Amino acid sequence: MNSKKIIGYSIILVFIILTAGYLYYQNNAIELSIYDFEQENIPETFDGYTIAQVSDLHNKEYNGRLTTELEEQNPDIIVVTGDVIDRNRTDIPVAVQAMEEMMNIAPVYFVTGNHELASGVYPELQREIDRIGVIDLDNSYERLEIEDQEIGLIGIEDPLFLLLDDIMEVGSEELLIQARIEGLIEEAGTDFNLLLSHRAELMSVYAAADVDLALTGHAHGGQIRLPFINGLFAPSQGFLPDYTSGQYSEDNTHMIVSRGLGNSIFPLRINNRPELVIVNLHSSSN
């Protein structure tokens, strides 16, 4: 073999190794995104309150690295915004173990994603997460209290769980979701309300319901992120989606979209590392 061929093969080998290393890093190195959210109707006692958001795990195992990252952030609560399991490789024990580890750090609140229903085993998962003490917040709310001051934590189930009769009664899926959120906010009776929902594409619904802050996922960061492009493709939004990662605002409503921590049908992330979201609440009423 002559020297030119050796050099050529060596270059190809180095390229393959570097590409493999890059893809491994892009799909396994957790990126921490911290948001400081300030609003006047956040009670003073919740100034500095920390929320960790875990979304779209899809049965991904981090072998303790996610737990370690959560421990270092020391959140007041952990919220899981859907797709903790994957319909294509459902592993309930892996999902339950992940949430058990979270429970050792802070109270855990959970809402469903589309993969919970599509897996066909959600009733079993629901029994298991109830058993370990995870709070199922689908179509429910909790008043979080510190020194007699409260905020509302609102949860809504994934739209796949909606019944056709209920949708037909109000006219559309969006109107049904809006009505349910509005009802929960009214029941909670709190000035500041934080919504947990899987779907980022429903931003206009959250705004119509006058949600203060929504934490969502589902978009996987657009899967492939290119310069000047807000992600290439997202479930339920298609190509060049509007909501993939970061903070968005519409009227008086704000939304933070997690890029998620796992993959599903498309197995690779490019320029789009798995993300752990931390939200620090701040009161501007001082």
Assign residue 70 the CATH number of its domain. 3.60.21.10
**What is the model's pLDDT at position 60?**
96
**Per the domain annotation, does 3 fall within a domain?**
no
Q: How confident is the model at residue 117 (pLDDT cuts 50, 70, 90)?
A: very high
The total of structural domains in the chain comes to: 1
Partners of 54 in the β-ladder: 80
**Which of 69, 41, 57, 56 shows the shortest CA–CA distance to 94?**
57
The answer on pLDDT for 2 being more than 80 is no
| Spatial contact of 36 and 50, defined as CB atoms under 8 Å apart | no
| Spatial contact of 99 and 80, defined as CB atoms under 8 Å apart | yes
**Per the domain annotation, does 63 fall within a domain?**
yes
The whole domain housing 83 covers 32-283
Q: How confident is the model at residue 11 (pLDDT cuts 50, 70, 90)?
A: confident
Q: Which of 35-44, 118-127, 197-206, 264-273 has the lowest mean pLDDT?
A: 264-273
| Secondary structure letter of residue 45 according to DSSP | G
**Per the domain annotation, does 27 fall within a domain?**
no
**Per the domain annotation, does 2 fall within a domain?**
no
The answer on pLDDT for 26 being more than 90 is yes
Q: What is the mean pLDDT of the chain?
A: 95
Residue 251, Ramachandran bin (φ over 0: left; ψ between -120 and 50: alpha; else beta):
left
**Per the domain annotation, does 69 fall within a domain?**
yes
**What is the model's pLDDT at position 285?**
72
**What is the model's pLDDT at position 46?**
98
Q: Which of 6-15, 62-71, 184-193 has the lowest mean pLDDT?
A: 6-15
What gap in Å lies between CA 193 and CA 189, rounded to an integer? 9
**Per the domain annotation, does 246 fall within a domain?**
yes
**Per the domain annotation, does 204 fall within a domain?**
yes
The whole-number average pLDDT for the span 197-216 is 99
**190 three-state secondary structure:** coil
The answer on pLDDT for 1 being more than 70 is no
**What is the model's pLDDT at position 286?**
61
| Secondary structure letter of residue 68 according to DSSP | H
| Spatial contact of 138 and 157, defined as CB atoms under 8 Å apart | yes
What phi and psi values does residue 69 have, to the nearest 5 degrees? -65, -40
Displacement of CA 83 from its chain's centroid (Å):
8
Q: How confident is the model at residue 49 (pLDDT cuts 50, 70, 90)?
A: very high
What gap in Å lies between CA 206 and CA 178, rounded to an integer? 7
Give me the percent of the chain exceeding a pLDDT of 90. 88
**What is the model's pLDDT at position 3?**
80
**Per the domain annotation, does 19 fall within a domain?**
no
The answer on pLDDT for 79 being more than 70 is yes
What gap in Å lies between CA 53 and CA 80, rounded to an integer? 6
Output the pTM of the full model. Answer: 0.95
Which residues are within 8 A (CB) of 88 and not within 5 positions of it... i.e. 6 or more apart? 264, 265
